[in-house]
Amino acid sequence: MPDRIVAPSLLAADHGDFAAGVRLVEESGAPWLHLDIMDGHFVPNISFGPQVVADLRPRTRLHFDVHLMLSRPDRYVDAFVKAGADRITVHVEAQHDVGATLKVIRAAGLPAGLALNPDCDPSRALPYLDRADLVLCMTVFPGFGGQSFMPSVLESVRTLAEERKRTGLAFRIEVDGGVNLKTGALCREAGADTFVTGTAFYKAADRRAFVRRLTD
Ligand code: DX5
Ligand code: ZN
């Protein structure tokens, strides 16, 4: 199983001062920064775009984990590659040739991720596992931070972890939505290794301890 990684989500930071939000992640010792990109169509909210990612790029060496919640992610992969993404995740439910988009991401030299909404049967990921470096199991319906974790998704995490073991593939299993110390531990038991956390991270009194406790 890959090392455990915490990816704090900038969505829960102060959108008037993203640079400060990034500094809090750096100070916490978390190696990744999760960037939630929303188009107001695939999800009922709009967040921020490639220019924000590009402007943050020179400020930090954090690994930019870009999560595209877009109806047509294939149209924007290039913009986020140019903006400085270190990996890009797209949804299986979006309107695109999923296998082709994953291939384009990899051809750009980046690891590719495949995201599933909470009500998505994990079997929908199976045809793409050989082209994915990460599978993102949404543990809330995407769109907003601060929602409650959906324990029903743990079953999908288990299924994917079993599939990973069975096939010997090395994709990461990431969870995203309502992840805190308690729900993060459940995800870990189910086989997740990568933990997106927005609200709980930014609200934590001791973020360094929070990150450490999620991973060790
Ligand atoms: C949900 C986003 C998540 C979210 C996580 O639409 O994809 O990344 O920001 O935030 P919390 O931890 O607040 O649920
Ligand atoms: Zn996300």
Residues with C-beta atoms within 5 A of ion ligand 2: 36, 67, 176
Count the domains in the chain: 1
The amino acid sitting at 131 is R
Residue 130: give the domain boundaries: 5-215
Is the Cβ atom of 91 under 6 angstroms away from ligand 1? no
pLDDT at 158: 98
Query: How many H helices and E strands in the chain?
Result: 8, 8
Mean predicted confidence (pLDDT) in 125-142: 98
Give the pLDDT confidence of 78-92 residue by residue, as tens digits: 999 999 999 999 999
Residue 2's pLDDT is what?
76
CATH of residue 111: 3.20.20.70
Q: Is 40's C-beta closer than 6 angstroms to any atom of ligand 1? A: no
Q: What is the distance between the alpha carbons of residues 65 and 36, in angstroms, rounded to a whole number?
A: 9
**What ligand has the least distance to the C-alpha of 179?**
1
What pLDDT digit, counting tens, does each position of 16-60 carry? 999 999 999 999 999 999 999 999 999 999 999 999 999 999 999
What whole-number distance in Å separates Cα of residue 154 and Cα of residue 139?
8
Residues with a known catalytic role: 36, 176
Largest CA distance in the chain: 46
Q: What distances in angstroms separate CA 83 from CA 8, 80, 105, 106, 157, one per listed residue? A: 19, 5, 13, 16, 31
- What pLDDT does residue 77 have? 99
Say if CB 71 and CB 40 are below 8 A apart: no
pTM score, whole prediction: 0.98
Phi–psi pair at 144, nearest 5 degrees: -140, 145
Q: Is pLDDT above 80 for 189?
A: yes
| Buried b or exposed e, range 64-83, using 16+ CB within 10 angstroms | bbbbbbbbebbebbeebbeb
Q: Is the CB of 177 under 6 A from ligand 1?
A: yes
216: confidence class by pLDDT, cuts 50, 70, 90: confident
DSSP state of 37: E
Q: Give me the residues paired with residue 93 across strands.
A: none
